[in-house]
Structures are given as C-alpha cells and as structure tokens.
Structure 1
Amino acid sequence: MLVTLSYSGSNEYSEYRDDVIVFSLKTKTWSRPEIRGEVPARYLHSATVYRNRMYVYGGFAKNAKCTYVLEEMRILNLETWTWSEAYTVPARYNHSASLVGSKLWIYAGKDEAGSTVSDLHSIDLTTLRVLPHPGITGKVVLLKSQHFSEVIGNQLVVFGKYPNEATGTSPYGLWIMDLDQLEWRKLDIDRCLEDGVWNYFTIVTKRPQNHRQIESSSALEDDPSKNSGGIDLDDSGAAPSLIFLGNTEKERPQPYDHFRDVLSINVEYLGVFQVPPSTLQTHMAMMLDNEEFSDFTIIPKGSERKIHVHRMVLSSRWPHFKNMHASGMIESTRGTMVLPEPYHVVHAFLTFLYTDTVDADLDCSVVCDVMVMANVYLLERLKKLCASILHRYHLQIDTCVRIFQAACVSQEHGLKKLSQDYIFRNCGAVMKTEDWFLMWSQGGDGSSSEQRAALEEFVDGIPEEASLEVKPGSKKSIEGVSYDGTGFEQALRKDV
C-alpha cells in the first residue's frame, strides 16, 4: 500500500477527532476510508504502521464530564479498515513511539497524573506483550514531555530541550540509546544547536536537495564535525543524516514555530554508525550441501541422497566428528559417514552446525529428534534451542506426548515437567491422541525401551492424590480431571 496515513487529533476548534485520512503517494489524492468499529476520539497519541496494521497508542480523550489519559492501544486492520478491541497498556500521552523490527518502543511523555516521565518500555507486536525495561543506565532529563525520537538501526535517538543547572539555561540536546545495551549516551552537538530555534527533528538516509544553507560559524571552523546547514562533509550520502528544521535569525517573532533553515549532520561524524546486519548465517547456510567445495558427505538412514559438507566446519562445531576424523576411522578415510536418523532430521542437525540456529517452523517431530541427537553428541546449546522451540511453538494437544518422550530421552528435565503438566491439564483431549495410545501400548509391552522408560517416568510423575471423578452435569458427560501442579482438580468434560 503506497500511502501515508493520518489518524485523529485535535482540529482548529479544539475538538478531539477519530478520523482516518489516507494520502496516496501514487495518485497524490486524499481519501477517507469507511471504518468499522468505534474508538474514543483523542489527541497527543502515537500511530505506527507495522505490516498491514496501524497501532494507535494512548493519547488524551474526554467525555461529557472530564478529560482523561487513555491506557489502551487500538489496532486498525488496513485491509478491512476494522478497529480491534482495546489492549491495556501503560497510560501515556505526548510520548514517542519508535518501531524497531517487530517491537514498538514507547518513550517518555506524560502519565495518567499528568506528570512528565522518562521511562522506556516496548510492545512485541507479534504477541502484543508489554515489556518493561528496568536497569537502564545513563540519564535523560527533558525540560518537558515534548520531544522527538527516531531510530538508526537498533539505536533510539531522542531530541529535545533539557535544563542545564550549571548555566541556568535550557539548551537543545540529543541522546542515543543502544537498545541491546539499554544505555543512554549524550551526543556532543550542543554548539551546533545553540543558535536558533529548532522545532522539528528527523533522520533521513539521503540529504535533502536545494535546502537553504546556514553560514558556517566559528564553532564549525574549530570543529568540522559540527556541520551546520547544507555544508556536506560526506558526498557519498551512505550514512544517515540528522535533520533539524527551525530558524537561526537573531531577530524573529516570539514564540517562533515555523521552518526556515535546515541543519544537516552526518551521524558518523558524531560516532554513530549503522552497522549492516551480519550475512554470516546466510552464507554459511549456502555452503551446506554445496557440492562445489565439499570434501565430505553425510548419508542419512533410508535415504539415497548424500548431503555434501566440509570437514573443517564439522570438525570445529562437532566434537564427535573431530574425534572420528583424528582417530583415522574408516569414515574419515572414505569421506563418508552414515547417520541413523532420517534425512530431514540430519539436515536440520547439520544446518545448526553451519548457522548456529534452529528453524522454529520445522515439524515438531523433527525438532524432537534433533534434540535427541544433541543429547547424544553433547551439544548443549542445540539441545536447549530445541527445548525452547518445542515449548514455545509446538506444545499442543497432538504433540505434547511426543515432546514428553523426547524430553525424557534427552534428559531435558524442564521440558519434561512442562509437557507432563500440559498433559495433566488437558488429559481428556490428550487421551484421544495416537501418541498417547502408542506410549501406553508400545511402552507397556516393552517393544521400545525408550517408550517404556518414558511411560515409567510419566507414571512416576502422577501425584499420589490423583483421582478421576464422575460428576453430574447439565449434559450427560464423562468427566476427567486436569492437573494444576498439586493434584488432579479441574474437571474436563467429554460429551457422550
């Protein structure tokens, strides 16, 4: 969608609005789509577009009796133009919202009491979880809640006025925070901003063309990194630029809120670098099963397809392979190794050796088998990655028994407890699954030592006070129970 969106605010009559206005960058026309659902009119909120949704956070609203601060986030579907229900978030207005990846970072503003705050929290837009960020080092003290925030890579940049107790003045300041380190750092650009009024700040990847230039000051002559106006210090234009809009004339109306001059500063001259993301994982993944430079092959069980690999990579990442190669075993001399696992499991295992990652979208059974391989070959990081993926993405009715068995075999005790508790909580539905039947039938008759061991561990984990109860209900039913960590207590119904 090649458009720019505007949502609500206050009009010339100080009326709060809930309008959605769309400007098409292709046709250069304005439109008002028909919106489904109702939300409170507001202003001093933030509106951020991520994929095909617009996230409207907080703001100031009013009813017939009073004005109040909203502690909600609404989501507008930009395909159906339908508002979501309200999601509870910390109350804020006059704050800033910055999108980094799939996280929306909310900084400063005013709270429900009208007090200026300087805290930082984020919202994971994939789960809609609010994530507080305590333990931030460094400090930003804004003169008032109004400020600007932008993003450079994984760094949050904040611009605004701050009280300088040493001079008794309120100069402009610029701070930056690495969102991985959560540490504020003040950038040294005060001398660039000391002359004039600066009413707007943003970051662009290319410098604006044909903007009005500001004559260089003595501060710039002393330190060329404090570039002002349109004096380009770097013709490449590769680095982002800080853009400030305002007026540097000594005689100007007060208060002044217009834009006459542009101050452009290359961020790299301030020691801020936008490091491109690493391509190592991508390039290493491309090497796997690439016959051109391969010097070894892995053959999975029951597969005629060989997987082409590299001795150096496997030796550095897989101690078992290194020991095998050093011992002069027949596999090392022939350049071929047969593994007893199926192709998809072996390929996922080798992908980890090349990229240090496990794809969360892999089938549950594949991740379970890779976790078992990790335990066999003492690859602790791989085992924990698999356990985390199985718990977060795959623990469901039809997979919990398989995960429990794999956790038992892998000696992954945390995952074993989590999956067993899940089975207890959902025993009625789980008892209908094929994996449940196989665990009891094959484990009970001893046809599989691993399934037998898993069955014994499952039985050992059942509390002594566990019981099944049949209770009368509004419909004819057979009632089972679920486990809450202390015993079988909550009823589960199966209609008959």
Structure 2
Amino acid sequence: MDPDVPVALAGDSPYYRLQSSICVDEELDLLMLFGGFDQDDIIDDHVYLLDLKANKWLDSRKCGIFREGHSMTSLSSGSVLVYGGLAVDDQYHQHLAGQNAVLNGLPMLIYNMVDDVWTSPESRSPDNGSRLEPISISRHSTCLSRDRSKVYISGGYNVVIKEEPVNDLYCYEFATNKWDRRTFVSRFDHFVYESGNKIWSFGGLSKQMNHVKKISMFDLDNNAVGELKLSNMPKMLTGNHTYLKISDHKVLDIFTSQWSLDQETIKPSIGLFDLQKTKYIPLITGSLNLLTKFRWRHFFIHNDSLCMLGYPLTPETNDTSYDYRMTHLMKIPLANLGASTKTDTGSTDVTLLSSFHRLYNHNSFTDFRIVAINSFTRPEDDNDMYERSDPINVHKLVLITRWPYFKKLYESGMAESQLNEMFIPEPVGWVSRLVEYFYTNSIDNCTIDEMSGLLLLSEMYELSELKSMLLSQIYADGFKLNTILEIWKIAVYLDDPILRSNCESFIFQNWGKLVKTSSFKKLDKQYILRLFEGLDNESKIVSDEAMQRKVKFDDEPLSTVSSTYRRVSSRSPQSIIVEEDDPQLFSHSNQTVDEEMDEDDDEW
C-alpha cells in the first residue's frame, strides 16, 4: 500500500455507526470495530475485524452484546476491554443475546478476538471496606497505565441519571480486580492518556455543553488537578475532534465536520499538541484532496502511521440520512506530517550519538570523503558540468550507523567503497548540513534554504526521521511571506501533497501581501502556472483589507468562519449554538467555529 493513497478494502465492509468504537491490536495487526447505532437508532451487535496487513474485512461475528457510547482498550494477545456505554438489555434484546444474555447489562467486559469469547472480570472494592462497584457510564474516556497493569476511566455520562457529566476518575487494577475512585474534571466525549504518572485530558464537552479548550492534568501522586495552556491555539471548531497519542508529550488533533455535506464549508484539518514546547502546531490545513474527497470516520495510529477509515464522497452522498460502508483505508506516515514518534529520541542510541557529536569538527581518524557541488544553488537537471567542492572528511562508522543508504553502498563493494570517496551532486551547504545531522541528530540554526535542501536529500535517501524533524520545525516556526515560495517549490519537486497543500493554503490566503514580495517577483513563469493548479472552480481573489480582518500574517493559522450546524443524533445530549459569519470571505478554506466557552475558561 502506497503511503498517502487511499486503498479499497477487500471483504464485506461494515456500515459506519454513530457512537461506535474501535481499537487496534498491534501484535495481531487487527482492528476491532464494535457497537453504535444506525440511521434507525438500532444498535449493531456485530464485531467487525479488519486485517491491517491484508487490508481486508474478515467475516463479521454476531455476539448479542448491545452497546453505544462505550470505550474499547486493547490489552494483549487479542484481548479487548469494553467498558460502559448505553446497553440495551430488555426482554427482546436479552432473547437476541443468547448465551451472552448474562453479560449484556454488565459495564465491564473483555472480548478475545482470537477465540471469539466474551467474559466479565470480577471486581472488588478497596481494602477499607467501602463498596465501590463500577458504574455504567457512556461517552467517557479510558487509557492504560504505562506498565499496562491498570486502566483509568474518566468522566462520561451516568447512563442512569443522565443529568450531567460525572467528574469521577476510576482506576481498575487487573491483577487484583480492585477499583479506586478519585475526582478529576466533568467531561464527556473527551480524550485522556497517562504520562509521567499524570492523567492528561483533551477536548470534549463540559456540563454546560461547551467545547473544552483547555488541557487538564491530574497528578496521580498527590491528587492535584491543574491546567496547561498552549500558544498558537486555533479557535475551537464545531464538529468532530479525534485525539491520538503519538508520544508522551505529543497528541494529534484531527478535526472533521459532523456531516459530509458540511465539508464544502468546513474543511478537515490536523494539528499537533506539543506539551514539551507548550505549543499547538497546525499540520494539515486548507483543501487537501486526501481529506476532502473522502469521509473519514475512524482514526488510529498503526506502525508509525496515521490511519483513516471511511468512504469516498460523491455528489449523491448524504450521510445525514443514510449510513455508508467503510470501504477505504488511508495510511499517512507520521514522518510526512512532521510528527514521527521516532524523532523524539531517534533510532540511534543516545550514548552513541553523544560520542558522534564529540567527533564532529574533528578530522582525527577520518577515513572517508564526501564531495559536493561548489555552489549555493542546485544545478539544472540537464547540467552535468559541476565544480566540485573541497572534500568533507567523515568517519565511515558514523555514516554506516546513521545512514542506511551509505551502509548498503559500502556493503555492495561499489567504487565509492573502494575509493573511500562519494560524490553528491548537490550544493555543498546542503551536504554539509546533512553530514552535521548524522553526527549531531540536530538541525538547529538551519536557514530555510538549508532546510529545503535537507528536505530534498531526506526524500532522496529515504531518511524519514530527518524529514519528520524538518517538517516539524517548519510547521512549528510557521510559514513566512518571504520564504513560503522556497518551501512550496521543494514540495512541488518532491510531489509532497500535504506540504504543497499547506503552502498553497497559506499563499492564497495571503495573496495580496505575497505578490508584493521580492521572492514572488523572481518566481519563474512555469512555477506561477503550477501554483494556480491548486485552485478549484470556485476560487476568488479577495481584497487585502478583507484578509486583514481575519488573518494575522506570519503569526498564526487562518482564522475561521461559521455556518449552520446539525444535531448529532436523537440520542445525543449535545446542543451546539454557532454564530453566523461572512461565508464568502475565504473561498479557499471556509470553516465553522464555536465561540462558546466555559464560564471558567479564559481567553487564550
């Protein structure tokens, strides 16, 4: 399966169900889809398994367990913890449940994907004798502890009382079957994960039915509750937010509209919460075809890729009234988003990297030379006459350890390995920075020209960690008027749809300013024509004054505009109010925003 290209799934694809849940077993390469209700409010009691290696849906399994608004957590060896949700256990459904009738009303279940067996673990109260049975809650959030010995269950709606979201934080220990309860935040439809012995909470709705913009934290050591505010936060968008943990301090924020009909005005987007940098970083903005031509319903991380499950859009698609089968899967390597999990530490041992760093700038014991082009610019493709640069002395051990391409070249016995010299027909400044990266695992103090060159080299030599590091830095710094065209040209050359779409979104939103820059005046005619390829039939040129009302140049992502919003479902307690704004202000990327805030929320 090619990255960034949706693939049609084999097998009998299931329909999308509201309030269904998924989880992935990394060991078995299986995705489990379960629960939710259809267009007639009928809850689906089938288990659907997707083989992520074969890209094929396996035969569905009818289980007689009815759930919606539940959570699912992958444990090990094919076991999945299914907790809470709105269960249907009346006489009719008990009859349908068959042998699983006794389990149907229980809040905590474990399903084994290998054996197709449902069980329910016993639970006990704390040692102090107080009775603490698990309550039935819906639209809550769960996460495992780092050692996977406990599961934490946060918030949600009490399915019996249904008055407001609860602020309970439950902890269940698998080895002892014991429960513990503490107090956190009142949330539902949110996301939690554990890191550093703290529980972090993102998004969701508060008891006032407002979208929560702040990040909350619960310290498991002392029961303290705190908040974290990030810089560069966008306005809260009305629609679906999916949060995915990719490392201890990085969380993806994936936004999609509630209905496919809204995608004309509410563009999907992907951003990154970086808790280490205390910053929100936009990763995908604008009208990327990979997002807008499909309706992506479920998102998950698998093999260091962002995976999306959904169906293609057609002019007849109307998922406000009808359910559609999830027939397609797309995998975007996290490196292509600048969000790879490998860049946090790199694939090379930290101690070894420290030793390499000390070798940098020292010619002692060097045993290999790299020669580049003695030029500040890249030569034309048809120009094979180069002025060679002075050699860059390096250590073969460093390159073999850090550069898979060089290792293959050296082991092949080619001329370079015999002569101990390699020629790279690229500007010497770029190649010098590449060598520095191999020694230091750093791109600090790189200019935009050097970063653009390294992007090209990372693609040429399949250095995904370097590419991720570069894109992360570019997105974190934000696009600038005087350098955006340089990055865009590299994106065009590399045929990178995500980077190109992001660049073009910024270019067209800042068109009035951009055309006055010296970099635009120097742009070749062929590139200007390529630039306009990204526009659709409805694109317009708007005045610079209109843009200034909504865009703060070079500082933050595009402000967004609002339109109408539809209710989620008759089962949902959610009620959203949005304001009308000027829908024609941006023809390239119009979005819906929800300006409502919690009473205790501060402005960013």
Measured against the shorter chain, the TM-score band is 0.3 to 0.5
Task: Give the number of the structure with larger relative contact order, counting CA–CA contacts within 8 Å between residues 6 or more apart.
Answer: 2
TM-score by length of 2: 0.32
TM-score by length of 1: 0.38
* Greater strand content: 1
